[in-house]
Structure 1
Amino acid sequence: MLKFGISPCPNDTFIFFGIIEKKVNTYGLNFDFVIEDVESLNSLCLKKELDISKISSHAIYYLQKDYELLSSGGALSEFGPVVIAKDLEKIKNISTVKVALPGRLTTASLLMWLYWQKNFSQKKYELKFMPFYEIIDKVAKGEADLGVVIHEGRFIYSLKGLKLVADLGEFWMEETLLPIPLGCIVSRKSLNIKETVEKIIKESLNYAYSHFDEAMDFTKKYSQEISEDVIKLHIQCYVNDFTFDMGQKGIQAINELIKKIQEHGIWS
C-alpha cells in the first residue's frame, strides 16, 4: 500500500478522482490517499512519510535527494498567487509589515520573498504562517497587513473588501517568461514507479474530463469554496496541458525556481 498525498483543492481532487474512486486501472499498485494542505504534504515528504505526493515546487529543492519529479499531475499555470491588503495606505506608512503566508515551503512564499526584495526591501517584516484558507479572514480583520492568497482565494478575496497589491504570477512571468511552477508530483526514487504512476495519473485525468459532472460532485466534497462557478474556474486555471505532461518548458520553470532559491535564499 503506497501512501499518496494530495491537497483538498479542486485541481487535485479533480485530477485524482479517478484513482481515489477506483475508476481507472492502477496496474497492480494500491494507494492509501492522504488529503492535507500542501504545506503539510511538504512536511510529510521531508520526513519521508509519503511514497507519492503533490508538493509545492519550492519544496523539491529540499527533497530531490529522495524523491523524483513526475511529469504528470502538477500545477503549472499563468495564474499564480496574489498579494492582498485591507488598507493600501497603511502599508506605505508602517515600517514593519505583518505578512500572512500559506506555509514556509510553499511556492507562494518563495514568490512573495522574491517580490518583497524588489518592492519592500526597505521595510521590516513579521511573518505569520497559517493554513491557506485562513489568510483572507486574517487580512480582513487587520491581523495581517499583507496576505498571500492561493487556490480558490484568488477568486474571492474582493468579496471581503480586500484590495490587490500584486499578482505574483504576472511578476514571475515578467521576470522569467516561463509558466508559474506552483506544484508538482513526486515519488520516492527507491520505489522505481515513476512511469507507471504517470500513466495512471493521465488515465485519471482523462476519466475526470469524460465524466465531468461526476468529478465535480467529488471535488465539491473537499473544496473550501462551495460555489460551483469558482470551483470550475479553479480547475480551468490549474488543470491544463502541463498537467498531462509538463514537458521541457515545465522542467525549465522548476529549474528556474531552484536557481532563484540558490541566488536569493528564502525568508529568514
Structure 2
Amino acid sequence: MKIAFSPCPNDTFIFHAWVHGLIPGAPKLDVTYADIDITNSLAASTQGPDVVKISYAALPWVLSEYALLPCGGALGRGCGPLVLTSDSAAADKGPAVLSGQKVAVPSERSTAYLLFRLWAAQNVPEGVGEIVVMPFNEIMPAVREGKIDAGLVIHEARFTYSQYNLKLLADLGNWWESETNLPIPLGAIIAKRSMDLEAIADWIRKSVRYAWTNPKASQEYVLQHAQELSAEVANAHINLYVNEFSENLGEKGYEAVKTLLGRAAQEGLVPKVDFADLRY
C-alpha cells in the first residue's frame, strides 16, 4: 500500500508501528516522506498514493477521489500557526502594520494560509500586499534577513522562532479558538474511496495506540526524519499535535472541519463542500 506523509515528528510517531510491521494484519507500506505542500499536490494528481496526509485546506479539491479518515490527522488547541516579524515596533503596533506588506506562507493550500486569510480579513483593513510561497524551514531566516516583512510559520517554529530574534505579531490558533471555541483542523489523513476504509482506519488507530503505549519505541525513527530537531523539541511537537483527535475526530473534530471549510468557502478561498462527503 502506498502512503505519503510528512517527516514531522507527529506523523512518524503515529505511523511508526504500521511502517515497521507491528500491526497484525496490516499490509506493508511503501512510504513517501514529503512536506505537506508536496503531499497536497500528490493527492490532487491522477495517480496519487493510496493513503496520504494533506492539509484540511486542500480537502475540498480531492473529496471526489479520496475519503477523509476519522483518525491519524492533526487537530488541536494551542497549536496554531504564528505570524512573525523581525520588527519589534511593528509587533507592538499590531496587525494593521501588514497593510501592503510582503508576507511569506508555507503553502496556499494549507490550513495555516486559510486561517491567515480569514484573520487578515478582520484585522488588516487595507489588505496585505504580496504573498510569497516558500518552504516552511526557509521562512524564519527570510524574515530575519529582511527579505520579507512577515512570515506565517507552522510546525516546530512555534518552539524555535525566538532563536531567530523574531517577534510574535499574531497567534492564529488563539484567534481561531476565541472565535469558534473549536480545535484547529490542521492535517487530514485521506484514503482512496475504492479501498477498505474501515480497515485502514482500524490499522491507523492501532498504530496510534501502539505509539502511546510504547512512546520510546519510535524515538530513533522520529529523530531520523525530524530535520535535525533535538529530541526535546521533537517530543514537544508530538505532545502538541498527537491527541485524542488523532485517534478519533469525534463530533467536535467534524464540527471544526465544517466550520473552517464553510468560512473559507464563504470567502472564496476553497470550493464549497457538501458536508455529507466528510463521512463515508
Aligned to 1:54, the other structure's residue is in SS state strand
Aligned partners of 1:101 and 1:33: how far apart in 2? 26
Partner of 1:262: 265
Aligned partners of 1:26 and 1:96: how far apart in 2? 55
Q: Deviations over 1:104-127 (max 9, x none)?
A: 101101111111111113144111
Aligned to 2:182, the other structure's residue is in SS state coil
Aligned to 2:109, the other structure's residue is in SS state coil
Seen in structure 2, the aligned counterparts of structure 1 residues 166 and 238 have a Cα distance that, compared at 3 Å, is same
Matched, 1:56 2:55: yes
Matched, 1:197 2:200: yes
Asked if the contact 1:112/1:168 (under 8 Å) is kept, the reply is yes
How far off its partner does 1:210 sit?
2.5
Aligned to 2:216, the other structure's residue is in SS state helix
Matched, 1:112 2:116: yes
Aligned to 2:102, the other structure's residue is in SS state strand
Aligned partners of 1:124 and 1:238: how far apart in 2? 29
Asked if the contact 2:98/2:124 (under 8 Å) is kept, the reply is no
Q: Deviations over 1:151-180 (max 9, x none)?
A: 111110011110001111111111111100
Seen in structure 2, the aligned counterparts of structure 1 residues 124 and 211 have a Cα distance that, compared at 3 Å, is closer
Aligned partners of 1:232 and 1:140: how far apart in 2? 26
Matched, 1:10 2:9: yes
Asked if the contact 2:118/2:264 (under 8 Å) is kept, the reply is no
Aligned partners of 1:158 and 1:26: how far apart in 2? 45
The number of residue pairs the alignment matches comes to 264
Asked if the contact 1:19/1:26 (under 8 Å) is kept, the reply is no
**2:257 maps to amino acid:** I
1:167 pairs with one of 166, 171, 176:
171
Q: CA RMSD in A?
A: 1.7
Aligned to 1:182, the other structure's residue is in SS state strand
Aligned partners of 2:98 and 2:169: how far apart in 1? 15
Asked if the contact 2:55/2:188 (under 8 Å) is kept, the reply is yes
Aligned partners of 2:261 and 2:213: how far apart in 1? 36
Aligned partners of 2:201 and 2:248: how far apart in 1? 9
How far off its partner does 1:194 sit?
1.2
Aligned partners of 1:98 and 1:84: how far apart in 2? 12
- TM-score norm. by structure 1 comes to 0.94
Asked if the contact 2:121/2:127 (under 8 Å) is kept, the reply is no
Aligned partners of 2:74 and 2:106: how far apart in 1? 16
How far off its partner does 1:61 sit?
1.4
Partner of 1:149: 153
How far off its partner does 1:30 sit?
3.4
**Structure 1 stretches lacking a partner, 5+ long:** none
Matched, 1:44 2:47: no
Partner of 1:86: 86
2:232 pairs with one of 224, 229, 233:
229
Asked if the contact 1:225/1:231 (under 8 Å) is kept, the reply is no
**1:232 maps to amino acid:** N
Aligned partners of 2:56 and 2:25: how far apart in 1? 25
Aligned partners of 2:184 and 2:36: how far apart in 1? 16
- TM-score norm. by structure 2 comes to 0.90
Aligned partners of 2:6 and 2:56: how far apart in 1? 14
Aligned partners of 1:146 and 1:88: how far apart in 2? 12
Asked if the contact 2:120/2:128 (under 8 Å) is kept, the reply is no
Q: Deviations over 1:178-214 (max 9, x none)?
A: 10001110011122x2111111111111222222222
Matched, 1:35 2:39: no
**1:177 maps to amino acid:** N
**Structure 2 stretches lacking a partner, 5+ long:** 271-280
Moved over 4 A (4+): 90-95
Asked if the contact 1:3/1:52 (under 8 Å) is kept, the reply is yes
**2:187 maps to amino acid:** G
Aligned partners of 1:87 and 1:124: how far apart in 2? 16
Asked if the contact 1:5/1:50 (under 8 Å) is kept, the reply is yes
Matched, 1:188 2:192: yes
